[in-house]
Chains A and B, each alone.
Chain A
């Protein structure tokens, strides 16, 4: 049993997306207005509207808890909006607002997971109601008495009403927060079997529609050929508790026993109707939201076109043709120009400014400020820098960790800052920009910085050193703080140690081909820098031939290629092989034997050695020869091959080249690990 109304699954994505957007916008308003003396009328209205919308759409989804929470906040702002002179505790109000916003966001995130039950917000709602009551000055908060019988509204029956006009009175369950929303769904459905002439209340979107329906029920007047079908639709409507047909002669015929309405019978047609109407309404907007999967597919197709284009225009068949190919060449140049432009446009569609990721940090810093009393200012630089949407999604968590660390451990207490004689305000700066083919995002604080000597001592204690202490450069020392097993178990705040969860952050960034580096000046502050390749799917590789196979190593792990002399090749009694290169002794990995590829070159002088380095592991990888270096679109292997554990064997995917052939993409690090480096 899912949490929302059956039949609403198709709306889930839209609901989560739209409500998420609204909550983001709400946070922004709250952040902006928190420090101001007075909340502007526009902002009050905006908050009111946001909550109203969330209330409506949550009710539509059947999420009573979210709907009611939003409703209570809406009520609160109704008071603020109506009574200009009402006085309230602003700090407490904002605390409640932020909490509500967070609760709603968490609930949204958990929606698709059926294992997490709906959260009960009644505690929070009580607090909000208490505040509302306080604002009203303890005034009555009694609701309108719900009339069950009631007299018929005036003018329900017109004089010249046709004979076959049916009038129904629909009563909604008391627990239904927004009967008007339910009614709209039902009316739309009714439209298929009947012509709905009039309803009382007339306008479902009016502010008081809910109250009217709750008080005296919903009257529907319709003309239909099949009254039974119409009645059935009404009776099975969501949250409908009772239905009666009202006759002009005031002879009410009870049609249905009150019944618990389930939405099980919601037909597919209505579901299709609803989104259709939604898009129709949005036509005047200049922005549309598109599913990311569609964009992914589009990007895939464009990469195919680029590849196919070059396989057509550079086809080997053309070489034999002695005829004049001028026109063909001109057309293929035009084609190339167009496909290049197409590729650029598609790439740019997926680009979003990093500000979306940065803005979220405002909240993190605000919450920490109120807890730690450090009064840290968050500064953004280059937040208009655009990166691929998938990168933004990846950035979210690492950024939060890094910013939290900077505020928590990086920036000193106000008292400590005063002792150090630091006069400038405590600041954390997030900046973004491009560098060659990478996006560079860094987080700089002007806090205490890190003491390299103490980090080195600690690394030594934890057994992380792999070479003599004196050989470590500053950079290498600082990178210890983001290494696994550095500071997870001991309190490291004493020397502004970072590293709580930092190794996880590092791993996540590396998973997508990015890099995390640390730099610090003791007493001045630290900088964490994330570098992520601009596009995750297009990679520079060095393609190698081994036997019949074409294998590609990402250029980022390649240091250099060299040919090895017989004299520099060492084989120890255990069968391990090494090569001497520039005074270093590198372990030799023969790709042919490591990957069990037959017919490869075995003579060390005839093949080529590729010096690869990933983190602290390095090796010389031996292949027959270099085919070329090139840019390829990496495709992961078909999920149907998952059980073969190709990743563990050092194969990350494949790529289809311009001539239609396939090259396999290797993970140098995994291969070195496999070979025990």
Chain B
């Protein structure tokens, strides 16, 4: 948590990606892998957004679909779709997105915190004419 707050105060680098036409981002420090969509084993009796678990170098890492998690219609995934693996308290979680856009550097003054407390989107970053939604990974994963 402390690290995230530091990001909001000091700025840093983001990995921006798209899902359903919007731009979203994680802080680059929380991302451990970006990979092609792997083979995913479905877990029964779980919500549809949870795609299942995948074998990431011998670890069973859960993977979710960002569109479904955010209540957007399921997209068409192609060879440019990928899974971003983020690390939360040293536990990994994969998130399937339409495509990864860019690595953006941002200054603290570019970051606007969301007025909604503890929302899935914790803030916004304006880069050029783009508005990037900064995701609260903890909220996204724990629901």
Is B141 among interface residues, defined by CB-CB distance under 8 A? yes
- Asked if A549 and B60 make an inter-chain contact with CB atoms under 8 angstroms apart, the answer reads no
- Complex Cα distance A548/B59, Å? 21
Q: Check A304 for interface membership: any CB of B closer than 8 A.
A: yes
A649 contacts partner chain B, Cβ-Cβ < 8 Å: yes
Contact indicator A646/B58 (Cβ below 8 Å): no
Q: Does residue A661 face the partner (Cβ distance < 8 Å to B)? A: yes
- Interface contact A646-B62, CB-CB below 8 Å: no
- Contact mask A201-237 → B, CB, 8 Å, 1/0? 0000000000000000000000000000000000000
B84 to chain A minimum Cβ distance, whole angstroms, is 15
Asked if A656 meets B60 with Cβ closer than 8 Å, knowing A643-B142, A643-B143, A661-B55, the reply is: yes
Indicate if B3 sits at the interface (CB-CB under 8 A): no
Of all chain A residues, the one with the shortest Cβ separation from B141 is: A640
> Once bound together, how far apart are the Cα atoms of A644 and B60, in whole Å?
16
- Kindly state the separation between the CA atoms of A651 and B45 in the bound complex, as whole angstroms: 10
Task: Pick from B46, B58, B59, B91: contact of A644, CB below 8 A.
Answer: B46
Q: Which residues of A contact B58 (CB under 8 A)?
A: 304, 307-308, 656
Q: Is the CB of B142 within 8 A of A661?
A: no
Contacts of B143 in A (CB 8 A): 643
- A120–B131 Cα gap in the complex (Å)? 61
Q: Decide if B91 touches A639 in the complex (CB within 8 Å).
A: yes
Bound Cα distance from A646 to B143, whole angstroms? 15
* Given A308-B58, A637-B60, A656-B58, A664 contacting B93 (CB threshold 8 A): no
Residues of A within 8 Å of B114, CB to CB, are none
Do B44 and A638 touch across chains, with their CB atoms under 8 A apart? no
Report if A635 contacts B (CB, 8 A).
Answer: yes
Q: A597 and B44 in contact (CB under 8 A), knowing A638-B93, A639-B91, A661-B39?
A: yes
Q: What separation, in Å, do the CA atoms of A639 and B60 have in the docked complex?
A: 11
Count of A residues near B, CB < 8 Å? 26
Closest-by-CB residue of B relative to A660 is B55
Check B106 for interface membership: any CB of A closer than 8 A.
no
Q: Is the CB of A595 within 8 A of B44?
A: yes
Q: A656-B58, A661-B39 are in contact. Are A640 and B142 (CB under 8 A)?
A: yes
A654 pairs with B142, CB closer than 8 A: no
With both beta carbons as reference points, the residue of chain B lying nearest to A301 in the complex is identified as: B58
How far does the Cβ of B51 sit from chain A's closest Cβ, in whole Å?
A: 12
The reply on B50 being an interface residue by CB < 8 A is: yes
Q: With the chains together, A308 CA to B53 CA distance in Å?
A: 18
Do A654 and B45 touch (CB < 8 A)?
no
- Beta-carbon contact of B62 and A548 below 8 Å: no
The answer, yes or no, to whether B61 is at the interface (CB within 8 Å) is: yes
B137 to chain A, nearest CB (A): 10
A639 CB contacts on chain B under 8 angstroms: 91
20 contacts between A and B (CB under 8 A): A549-B42, A597-B42, A635-B59, A635-B60, A638-B61, A638-B92, A638-B93, A640-B88, A640-B141, A641-B43, A644-B47, A649-B44, A651-B43, A654-B53, A654-B60, A656-B58, A656-B60, A661-B39, A661-B41, A664-B44
Known contacts A307-B58, A639-B91, A662-B55; 9 further A-B pairs (Cβ under 8 A) = A637-B53, A637-B60, A638-B93, A640-B88, A644-B46, A646-B46, A649-B44, A651-B43, A661-B55
Chain B positions within 8 Å of A, measured between CB atoms, are 39, 41-47, 50, 53-55, 58-62, 88, 91-93, 141-143
- Please list the residues of chain A having a beta carbon within 8 angstroms of any beta carbon in chain B: 304, 307-308, 548-550, 595-597, 635, 637-641, 643-644, 646, 649, 651, 654, 656, 660-662, 664
